[in-house]
Amino acid sequence: MTAAQETPAGPFPAHVENAGAGGRVVLVCEHASNTIPAAWGDLGLTEAQRHAHIAWDPGALGLARGLMRRLDAVLVHAPVSRLVYDCNRAPDMAGAMPARSEVHDIPGNQSIGPAERHRRTQAIYLPFHDALHGCIAGRIALGLAPVMVTIHSFTPVYFDQPRAVEFGVIHDHDPTLARAVVEVARERTGLRTELNAPYSAADDVTHSLRLHATPYALQNVMLEIRNDLIATPAAEEAMAEILAPVLTEALARISLRVKAG
């Protein structure tokens, strides 16, 4: 990988869609893309691996765009595969530039020294989080009371084990919105919905929320949808049609409780 690592790389700015949105929700999709920039070659992976869930969250970007349109939300998404840099991980976490993902070794990530970790942090992680911070802080300044919602998908079979959960709702420090989403989803959808499944903050999956929502005491939640349920554009749209009113109702219930409280 020496030659590839000498190729100039980036920076790769985050994509921001509907930046002037009137709604409160800021959607975030750290695993939107399976793109591996030329500087990192193919990381030693087969084409099948580069299209598998280890490289990105299939369906997440399409679902996020469906939610964006229905909620008049902003959408911030990463332009590079999580296998080059997982923007939902701090630079010292093993998962930021994983040497192995599920059952797959990642050859291009086997011997990453400090200089290469620093290069990827500068090229991918910082441009993503600078853009997201700008969006969040700008909307706070405008008095828009932003709500941060990260959109992910998970594989239905992990280490050969099928997963029954269909909709996982994960929180960082403040569980308020996550609990309201679970409550509404169980009442109004047929989705098998679980709190803090298939992962939780203890698995270091709430890094983006910790950086941008927790310090400002913003309402926030991480949504995980099983990727077989959003495997086509039509399925992504159908899921957005189900989940947009769940988010709206969950936020409305929180507001009512604050007023009543």
User: Cα separation of 134 and 76, whole Å?
Assistant: 11
To a copy of itself, the closest distance from the beta carbon of 73 in angstroms equals: 18
Binding range to a copy of itself, per CB under 8 A, among 26-34, 39-47, 72-80, 129-137: 129-137
Query: Does 118 contact a copy of itself by CB under 8 A?
Result: yes
Name the strands in the sheet holding 147-154, side by side, starting at the edge strand that comes first in the sequence: 15-17, 74-77, 25-29, 147-154, 220-226, 167-170, 193-195
CA-wise closest residue to 40 among 137, 126, 108, 86: 108
Contact between 120 and a copy of itself per CB under 8 A: yes
* Of 15, 50, 117, 163, the one binding a copy of itself by CB under 8 A: 117
Residues of span 172-231 touching a copy of itself by CB under 8 A: 207, 210-211, 214-216
Q: How far is the CB of 14 from a copy of itself (least distance, A)?
A: 13
Question: What residues contact residue 40 under an 8 Å CB cut-off, 6+ apart?
Answer: 1, 4, 5, 9, 84, 108
The residue (of 85 and 154) whose beta carbon lies closer to a copy of itself is 85
Compute the least distance from the CB of residue 144 to a copy of itself, in Å.
9
Q: Tell me the residue type at 31.
A: H
Q: Which residues pair with 101 in a beta bridge?
A: 104
Rg from Cα positions in the chain: 18
Does residue 11 interact with a copy of itself by CB under 8 A?
Answer: no
Among 15, 133, 163, 186, binds a copy of itself (CB under 8 A): 133
Measured CA to CA, the distance from residue 17 to residue 27 in angstroms comes to: 10
Closest CB to a copy of itself among 211 and 254? 211
Q: How far is the CB of 193 from a copy of itself (least distance, A)?
A: 27
Of residues 68 through 97, those in contact with a copy of itself by CB under 8 A are 90-92
Q: Residue 68 class from Cβ within 10 Å (0-12 exposed, 13-18 middle, 19+ buried)?
A: buried
8 Å CB contact between 246 and 187: no
# binding residues, a copy of itself (CB under 8 A): 28
d(C-alpha 218, C-alpha 159), whole Å = 35
Note whether 35 binds a copy of itself by CB under 8 A. Answer: no
Residues making contact with a copy of itself (CB under 8 A): 90-92, 114-115, 117-118, 120-122, 125-126, 129-130, 133-134, 137-138, 140-143, 207, 210-211, 214-216
